[in-house]
Structure 1
């Protein structure tokens, strides 16, 4: 046996349709996690490969979106755990696209926020993403990350405190 699995068209069509529906959202969510569009595309691809490998057991699942999100977050955390040394450094990155005129006021805030998120540990960044971007409950976040609700509460609290400290200068001018 060569290890190649033959797949019938209905199986493949179901997965293809699923990917067409969820890929744009997965890509945006992956960007929030990794902070780079190219890395986001890689994370989405690895996530979809993992889901495809289990697709024959998943088609009857009630919430494929939640399962896919869990796969993506856990993939992100496990890849970032202890592998900072293996990240490639781009010597000449491509320039960022020019913002639209109406977005100019928000660009500075966005850059600061993305920078602060990038400095967080992968698990901390995942918690912020799940709780405040995906709007999951504490219990749903705990199931997705694979920890207790108490851990989600305490870790999220510490992470928000860190973000407030790092972004404090951004909002101090508004309160004066």
Structure 2
């Protein structure tokens, strides 16, 4: 095995380990972004991982001119995921929805906790950018600056959007949320 193929194999192994370790977390974040649309969430995670794979070998070669280093691949993957979500929502085809559901595949809401269902329904009623801000700030626990960088917005915009999105969630959920949290 040549040195070049050994390096390439090591890079691919490293990426596979990364993808296996981060898939679950990326998927959960994507489910929140898509308001529980598991099929779209899977598509977004796959697209994010494909994009990560495309830059994986270029970012690990620190000594080569033109190469760059990504300090935190997990954060970069989440940035790619959120950008993919926002891009998907801007596309015309994103408004297409299937009409019927197969009875065998339908999720039973009784399997989820009442709180989870209420929160997902509340998130579904928010705009895409509001939903993305809330997921990044409160699910991913990102700073305002990190969220602004991911969303390509100013930190003031993120603060304002967070404040207004939380207000909308409170208005949408009303007393239902406090009842469910008290249990």
1:4-30 deviation digits (Å, cap 9, x = unpaired): xxx932221121111111111111111
User: 1:1-176, aligned counterparts within 5 Å?
Assistant: 8-34=8-34, 35-59=36-60, 60-83=69-92, 86-93=95-102, 94-97=105-108, 99=110, 107-171=113-177
Q: Report the CA distance between 1:82 and its aligned residue.
A: 4.8
Asked if 1 retains the 8 angstrom alpha-carbon contact of 2:82 and 2:132, the reply is yes
Aligned mates of 1:11, 1:109 — CA distance in 2: 42
User: Is contact 1:58–1:64 with CA below 8 Å preserved after alignment?
Assistant: no
Structure-2 change in CA distance of 1:98 and 1:58 (3 Å): same
CA deviations over 1:108-149 (Å, ceiling 9, x no partner): 332221111012111111100000001111111111111110
Q: How many residues align?
A: 164
For structure 2, the 5+ residue unaligned runs are 1-6, 61-68
Which TM-score applies when normalising by structure 1? 0.83
Instruction: Please tell me whether the aligned partners of residues 27 and 44 of structure 1 are also in contact (alpha carbons under 8 angstroms).
Output: yes
Q: Match for residue 3 of structure 2? A: none
Task: Please identify, of 79-88 and 19-28, the stretch whose mean Cα deviation from structure 2 is larger.
Answer: 79-88
Instruction: Report the alpha carbon displacement of residue 57 of structure 1 after superposing the two structures with TM.
Output: 2.3
Is the 8 Å Cα contact of residues 144 and 155 (structure 2) preserved in structure 1?
A: yes
The separation in 2 between residues aligned to 1:54 and 1:85, in whole angstroms, is: 26
Q: Which runs of 5+ in 1 are unaligned?
A: 1-6
- State the Cα deviation string for residues 30-58 of structure 1 (Å, max 9, x = none): 11111222221111001101111111222
Taking structure 2 as the reference length, what is the TM-score of the superposition? 0.80
